[in-house]
């Protein structure tokens, strides 16, 4: 089975110069775990996970002991915390190939890109697990 059958085609992206605060808002609004970072000409340049964001944010933000330095963290730019040159896949690769890539590289998502590196979708470990559970049920 091909990735195009399980990938999420509607992907929320963010720009390299967008703020950490903008990423935080998107994660809270859409309840997912990965943002694809787009550069010039809509080419994929990186990935930001919710874990990357949590490592960056101060635990004091929005508390009574919030400090100015904590608020400055929200103004950092995405390129300061994203993973550059992410491992990607194409829509015609198999689910098995994707799982092997993810396990072998210890990553939790694969952006699905065209040959020009523009984004077509994303596959996460949850997508693969859902597919596996459906197959086991057959």
Number of domains in the chain: 1
**CATH for 109:** 3.10.580.10
The confidence score (pLDDT) of residue 61 equals: 60
Q: Report pTM.
A: 0.86
* Segments forming the whole domain that contains residue 103: 3-136
CA-CA-CA-CA torsion sign (88, 126, 100, 102): positive
**pLDDT-derived band of residue 73, with 50, 70 and 90 as boundaries?**
confident
Q: How far apart are CA 1 and CA 123, in angstroms?
A: 13
Checking if the pLDDT of 113 tops 80, the result is yes
């Amino acid at each position: 089975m091909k990735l195009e059958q399980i990938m999420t085609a509607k992907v929320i992206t963010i720009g390299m110069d967008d703020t950490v605060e903008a990423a935080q808002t998107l994660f809270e609004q859409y309840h997912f775990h990965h943002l694809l970072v787009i550069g010039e000409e809509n080419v994929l340049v990186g990935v930001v996970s919710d874990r990357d964001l949590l490592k960056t944010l101060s635990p004091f933000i929005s508390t009574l002991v919030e400090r100015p330095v904590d608020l400055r963290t929200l103004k950092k730019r995405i390129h300061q915390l994203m993973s550059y040159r992410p491992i990607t896949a194409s829509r015609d690769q198999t689910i098995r190939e994707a799982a092997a890539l993810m396990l072998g590289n210890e990553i939790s998502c694969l952006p699905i890109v065209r040959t020009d590196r523009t984004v077509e979708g994303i596959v996460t470990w949850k997508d693969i697990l859902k597919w596996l559970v459906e197959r086991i049920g057959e």
